[in-house]
Amino acid sequence: MSNDRFLLIKAWSYILWGDVDHVLGQLLVAELTNRIPVVYWPTHCLHNGYILTNGFELYFEPVSNYSIFDVAKPEYTYYPPIWDYENLFIEDQNKDTWIYRNIGDLLSSQENVVVADVYYNIHELIPFIKKNHPAYGMSSQQIYQYLFSKYIKLRSDIDTEVQGFYNSWLKGNHPILAVHVRRVEKDMIFDTRDSKKNGNQYWNKIYRKYKQKPEKKGKKLYKLFAKGKFKEPNRGYHKEIKKYIDKYNIKKIFLLTDCEDTLKEYKNIYGPMLVYTNCKRIKNDEPVYHMESPMVVRRRGVEIVKDAFIAAKCDFFIGNDFSNVSHGVTRIKDWADKNIKMMYWIFKKRKYPVNVMLVVKSDKPNIFSRTAQRVIKFFSKFKKNTEKRGELNAK
């Protein structure tokens, strides 16, 4: 590998596990292009609480022996052409336009430094993997696990916390089930009944997302009169947990959640079986983002990373299929397919987030909608008869 060919992997989403996922994809690009990878998460990343530090290295060991300072040299050439050695530390506010960032151009670039600040899923890169590469013939999940085990190493202080918690609370209590439950998105409803509405960030953009009105009596009336069937957020977790308990004689349940309400619910149901870390959690009706001191921000990131790596030490895992944290857990180690269950709503072969309310069509209208239909039918018939009488009188 030439020591003057680099792939500088900058932040994409500014969400810790989302950016880990982005890093994994770009590490594969580095291998396919025979470049030295360098990861740099700037100060304004969500979990980088320090000034002029690399956010990635607050949690993980460097992926190579080089830093961003090694790739910022006047004699180097850069791609995309918006970059030069003086502006590598700043953010490109127009990266969402994807100008100069298609896969083919990045893979074929001959510049010394290619800057990677957009996200590629592994399955998009599989067609470019050649037979002499170790990942040739692997599935996307296998490639993610290959890259994770090769490059992503915890900082020693975080690894010590993970091992200490495991030894104190979980070791000797196998089989253990880890469960990741995201807090309920109360301000969000997904309505599948209108297929003409677009503009949502999830898969299959044919359903409607709209803000739910504040809790009022009208909400209950809406449910009664709506011609639809409601799926309540996070329903189904307990049914899946029971399956694992009955089939595998689960001894402990390790809960990952960002929600105080969820923790209280699970403590009431599972009692001494439940194990969880002492981390910052918020209630369903509290805002997600708020200002904290730099030291605390870094601590929040440690809590997120720590929970994921503890979950990977468990025997089974139930996660949220729309969560970067859950997918991160599945990539830390090679899980057997039967040992993982990713939760989501599914309606007409389309996936929806399990932690939001979903409204689906109902084949059998409820009593209120049937009554409304009869009233409409009656007045339509009455109107037609009136019109006919009017025509006859006119003659």
C-alpha span between 350 and 211 (Å, rounded) = 21
Residue with tokens 């970059």: 83
Task: Answer with the residue of higher pLDDT: 92 or 161.
Answer: 161
Contact 21, 328 (CB under 8 A): yes
Contact 354, 320 (CB under 8 A): yes
C-alpha span between 134 and 132 (Å, rounded) = 7
| Cβ neighbours for 369, distance < 8 A, ≥ 6 positions apart | 225, 227
Q: Look up residue 69 and give its two tokens.
A: 């300072």
Q: Which residues pair with 154 in a beta bridge?
A: 60
* pLDDT above 90: residue 199: no
Residue with tokens 């019109």: 387
Residue with tokens 């690399």: 54
**Which of 322, 318, 325, 323 is closest to 352 using CA atoms?**
322
Question: Which range, of 188-197, 247-256, 293-302, averages the lowest pLDDT?
Answer: 188-197
**Which of 302, 320, 307, 304 is closest to 185 using CA atoms?**
320
Buried b or exposed e, range 141-174, using 16+ CB within 10 angstroms: bebbbbbbeebbebeeebeebbeebbeebbeeee
C-alpha span between 127 and 135 (Å, rounded) = 11
Question: Which range, of 41-45, 185-189, 270-274, 312-316, averages the lowest pLDDT?
Answer: 185-189
Contact 48, 42 (CB under 8 A): yes
Q: Would strands 188-191 and 208-211 be described as parallel, antiparallel, or unpaired?
A: antiparallel
* pLDDT above 50: residue 265: yes
Residue with tokens 């209280």: 264
Contact 22, 54 (CB under 8 A): no
Question: Which range, of 41-45, 223-227, 240-244, 262-266, averages the lowest pLDDT?
Answer: 223-227
Q: Look up residue 125 and give its two tokens.
A: 């890169």
Q: How much is the pLDDT for 217?
A: 44
Q: Which domains does the chain have, with CATH numbers?
A: 6-151 (3.40.50.11340), 164-364 (3.40.50.11350)
Residues in the chain: 395
Cα angle for residues 48, 50, 56 (degrees, 5° grid): 40
**Neighbouring C-alpha atoms within 13 Å toward the C-beta of 176:** 20
Confidence of residue 222 (pLDDT cuts 50, 70, 90): very low
* pLDDT above 60: residue 216: no
Cα angle for residues 74, 75, 80 (degrees, 5° grid): 80
C-alpha span between 294 and 52 (Å, rounded) = 12
Contact 351, 190 (CB under 8 A): no
